Amino acid sequence: MRMYDIIMKKRNGGSLSGEEIRWMIGEYTAGRIPDYQMSAFLMAVYFRGMGEDETLELTMAMARSGEMLDLSGIQGIKVDKHSTGGVGDKTSLALTPMVAACGIRVAKMSGRGLGHTGGTIDKLESFRGFSTEISTEQFEEQVNRIGISIMGQTADLAPADKKLYALRDVTATVDQMALIASSIMSKKLAAGADAIVLDVKTGSGAFMKTEEDAKALAREMVRIGNGAGKHTIAIVSEMGQPLGNAVGNALEVQEAIATLRGEGPEDFTELCLTLGSCMLVAGKKAGTTQEAREMLQKVIEDGSALNKLAEFVQAQGGDAGQVWHPETLPAAAIHMPVPAPEDGYIQAIQCEEVGNCSMILGGGRVTKDSVLDLSVGLILHKKVGDPVKQGEAMATIYANDPEKAKEAAARYTAACRIGQQPVEKQKLIKAVIQ
């Protein structure tokens, strides 16, 4: 087989066979196909697309390019959850102990943040001593013992995707549906869970800016997951403004703890209940989403979800006392309110720009090697649709450097659009696709 012929076939709008796709991914992962040929192929896919069978073949070939995690040593149905990423998305922090408290086995691999989006591992490291650098044996043992463990992604998980993603990033070929779907799903399939619940974000802070594109991506990923024999459900949810009120690592941990106490923001609590219900049904702990919702509400009310978080933090070397005393989590020295420049209603909050504010403060990674300040970030006091009075705080900036605080405050002000007309609040859950 020759890469030249495969490029030509795709360039001319042909469909590749499974054999061709498997050969190409194997040879590329082994370093026997140069990046310039793979770049040409990716651009051909960008313009010609891929059919359903081709996308599934590509996903499976990338999933099998490295280690396929075998979670058969963990009893019960393992349910994984994945978000396409956003600002203030601390869902895994609250959701995983909630579903684990209901008996679901959570064996999850998570990543770190890059750019304007945060990552679960960085947030969890707000707990003193907490580590996700654990062995696969410890991971399995912990899930069997307490029902929950989160580890960092192993270097050998879908290495073909790692190489391809880096190439797509510099060849303007990231935003192609089949390539995104196969990239995300290859990692999920290699991570070994029996069922997958996806949270596909849409809006200004998301990868998919329009609801239509987000729904199409969700349908594609559900089709791939089910085609690979994993029960897969996707939710399409709003990311036109930050989720909840907190943005920034330790601040988001505090908000997740408040949510497990039943005192969280309405939108964030609702998302956790919706995703959690899908996870309980997929894991066969509940027959209907209504029954699942009641189970989740109960573990919040009786404190068992919060206890599960403490158990999880302790099992991974963290200071569980901070779950009961979140005021001891990393705290910033400067609290700077951001006043509304005029009376009116918040019409829009540029979501990506709020993530950038957190990054300016030191809470996000500019490069892979950036050292984070876990204490900084923002708390939003007003969200889209809320009325504001001139001078009233729209948000508070948490910082350790006064110059950075001023810069973030100015950018936050510019990110908020205030108008005289009341606006309708956006629906949080746009669709459930299964």
Q: How far is CA 218 from CA 169, 222, 298, 432, in A?
A: 21, 6, 30, 9
Contact call for residue 183 and ligand URA (CB under 6 A)? yes
Contact call for residue 358 and ligand URA (CB under 6 A)? no
Site map (CB under 6 A) of ligand URA, residues 197-236, x = contact: ----------x-----------------------------
Site map (CB under 6 A) of ligand URA, residues 90-109, x = contact: --------------------
d(CA 136, CA 86): 28
In whole angstroms, how close is the CB of 114 to ligand URA at the nearest point? 10
In whole angstroms, how close is the CB of 25 to ligand URA at the nearest point? 15
Cβ–Cβ < 8 Å for 356, 204: no
For 195-225, letters b (16+ CB in 10 Å) and e give bbbbbbbbbbbbbbeebebbbbbbbbbbbbb
Among 21, 184, 315, 323, binds ligand URA (CB under 6 A): 184
Choice between 198 and 379, CB closer to ligand URA: 198
Single out the catalytic residue among 168, 201, 231, 382: 168
* CA nearest neighbour of 321 among 255, 252, 257: 257
Q: How far is CA 22 from CA 32, 46, 160, 185, 432, in A?
A: 14, 19, 11, 16, 32
Q: Are strands 79-83 and 106-110 parallel, antiparallel or unpaired?
A: unpaired
Which span (173-181, 355-363, 373-381, 384-392) binds ligand URA, by CB under 6 A?
173-181
Is 325 designated active site?
A: no
Which span (174-182, 259-267, 345-353, 425-433) binds ligand URA, by CB under 6 A?
174-182
Task: Retrieve residue 418's tokens.
Answer: 């205030």
Is 161 designated active site?
A: yes
Counting beta carbons within 10 angstroms of the beta carbon of residue 103, is it exposed (0 to 12), middle (13 to 18) or buried (19 or more)? middle
Choice between 158 and 415, CB closer to ligand URA: 158
Site residues for ligand URA per CB under 6 A? 165, 174, 179-180, 183-184, 207
* Residues forming the active site: 82, 161, 168, 183, 187
